[in-house]
A and B are shown apart, each in its own frame.
Chain A
C-alpha cells in the first residue's frame, strides 16, 4: 500500500465563541505516506491539537478537506473512526473503571467479542507494562501509567493510522524512552503514526518527516536532515561548523531566534 495515509488540503478551523472568533488553523496542507512516522511540531497554541482533532473526526472542519486512510473525514466519519487510533493530549480515561475494564470496553466497542476483547486487553496491558496494575481503578494511576493506558486503548483494533497528541509530555525520561520504543514497534508493524510533540529530540529520534506549524500555518516541512541542511545553507555556515540542531531549525522557523529569546530574557531581568 503506497497510498497517502493522511491528506489535508487548505484545512481551516475557526473557533467561534462569545469572545469572538479564533483562527486556530489557517490553511494547512499535509501529505503523510502510509507507513511513516510523521512529526507535527509547533509552539504552544500553534494549532497542533486543533489539527489533530479535525483529522480524528472530533472537530468540525471550517473549510478545506481531509482524507485519512483514503476516506474523507467529513463525508464518512465512522469509516475513518474504524481505521484510526487516537490518544489525545489530555489522556481520556474513565477513573472509575480499572485499566483492564477500560481496554476491554474499548475493544468491544470496536466490535470484538468478549473473549477476543479480554485476550487483546491482556496483550496490550503486557505491551505497555501495566499487567500488575490492570485490575486497579484508573483513579490511582500515576500520570505515566495513564498515558500508557491511553496509548494501549488507542491500539485495540490495530489501527491503520495512529494519532498521538504529545504522547510523552509529563513523562520521566525512562518512560519517554519506553513510549518511543512502543511507537517504533507499532510503526514497524505497518501503522502510520502522526505525532505532535514539543520535544525536538523526540521528533529527531522518531520521525521520518515532520512539519512545523506556527500561528495556524505550516512554516517548514521535510525530513529532519533536509531541514537542518536547508538552514545550514541559508545561514552559510562554514564547512567545519557543526550541523544546526532541530532546535535551531524550530527557532528559526517560528521566528524565535536564540538571540531574540536570550534578549527577551535579559529585558525581563534588567
Chain B
C-alpha cells in the first residue's frame, strides 16, 4: 500500500465525515455569498462596467468573486475534525498503524481540496446572475477550480499545524483568525496600483495577493501566464512548506 493509496483511503473517510455533518458546511457557502452580495451591492454603482477599465467589461461582482472564493477556501474546518480525532483518541489509533505520516496529513487535506472545488463551482453558479462570466474559457475554469482548491489545502494545512500543536478546538479556531487579516490585506476592492501607498506595500508583501490576482485574471481576462505563474508559485511554495512542517510535527508528536 503506497502512501498515496493511504491518503486516498483517509481522504474518503474525511469526505464521509463532511457529508455527515452538513451543518458545518452551510456557513462555508453562506458567508462568501453574503460578502459577494454585500460588496457588490455597496460598490457596484461606483464601478460601472462600461467606464471601469479594470473590470474588462464585466460587472463589479466579477471583480469581487475571487475574495469570496478565497474566503470559502479559508475556513479550515478539517483542522477542527483533526482536533476531534486527537481528543477522541482516533488519531492515536491511526498513529499506531503503519500509515505513512505524509498520508496521515494529506488525507484530510485532499478531502478539503475536493470540498473547496465543489464550493467553488457552487459560488460561480451563484455569481452567474450577477453578470459574471469566466473570460478565460473552459481551461481557465479548470485552473480556477484547481487554484482555489490548492489554496484551501494550503490554508487548512496551516490550521492543522495549530491543531497538532495546541490539540484544542478553541485554540485552533482563534488561531485561524490570525490568518484572516491576510485575506483583507489584499487588493480586494480595487487593483493593487490604485491602493494607497501603505496598503500597496502591505498587499505586495502578502502572498495571498498573488493568488487573488491569479484568480481574478482567470475571471476577467484571457490566460495571463505571468499572473498565473505567480499565483500557482505561491501556492506551490507554501504548500511544500506546510506539508514539510505538518509531517515533521506528526513525527515528533508525543
Instruction: Please give the residue numbers on chain A whose beta carbons come within 8 Å of chain B beta carbons, in ascending order.
Output: 56-60, 78-79, 81-82, 84, 86, 88, 90-97, 101, 105-106, 108-111, 137, 153
Contact = CB atoms under 8 A, between A and B. Distances in A.
17 contacts: A57-B95, A57-B96, A58-B95, A88-B92, A90-B88, A91-B89, A93-B90, A94-B90, A96-B21, A101-B13, A106-B97, A108-B9, A109-B6, A109-B9, A109-B94, A111-B1, A153-B93
Contacts of A105: 9-10, 13
A84 B9 contact: no
A96 B254 contact: no
B85 interface: yes
Contacts of B10: 105, 109
Given A59-B254, A110-B98, A92 B13 contact: no
B96 A109 contact: no
B88 A92 contact: yes
Given A56-B96, A105-B13, A93 B254 contact: no
A57 B251 CA distance: 11
Contacts of A84: 96
A49 to B, nearest CB: 11
A92 B254 contact: no
B17 interface: yes
Contacts of A96: 16-17, 20-21
B96 A58 contact: yes
Contacts of B9: 105, 108-109
Contact of A110 (B20, B89, B97): B97
A111 B89 CA distance: 22
A109 B1 contact: yes
A78 B88 contact: no
B14 to A, nearest CB: 10
Given A96-B16, A96-B21, A108-B9, A90 B96 contact: no
Contact of B13 (A58, A88, A97, A153): A97
Nearest to A87: B93
B97 to A, nearest CB: 5
Nearest to B8: A108
A97 B89 contact: no
A153 B91 CA distance: 14
> What 8 A-B pairs are tightest by C-beta distance, nearest first?
A92-B89, A92-B93, A81-B98, A90-B89, A86-B96, A111-B1, A92-B90, A82-B98
B170 interface: no
A215 B3 CA distance: 40
A19 B16 CA distance: 40
Contacts of A81: 96-98
Nearest to A98: B16
Contacts of A88: 89, 92-93
Nearest to B87: A90
Contacts of A86: 92-93, 96
B4 interface: no
A191 to B, nearest CB: 16
Contacts of A97: 13, 16-17
Which of A79, A94, A101, A111 neighbours the largest number of chain B CB atoms within 10 Å of its CB? Answer: A94
A23 to B, nearest CB: 15
A94 B98 contact: no
Contacts of A78: 98
B201 interface: no
B99 interface: yes
A109 B97 contact: yes
Given A97-B13, A97-B16, A105-B9, A92 B98 contact: no
Contacts of B89: 88, 90-93
Nearest to B9: A108
Contacts of B6: 109
B150 to A, nearest CB: 26
A94 B97 contact: no
A58 B92 CA distance: 7
Contacts of B97: 81, 106, 109-110
Contacts of B92: 58, 86, 88, 92
Contacts of B96: 56-58, 81, 84, 86
Contacts of B93: 86, 88, 92-93, 106, 153
Contacts of A111: 1
Contacts of A57: 95-96
Nearest to A15: B254
A94 B1 contact: no
B23 to A, nearest CB: 12
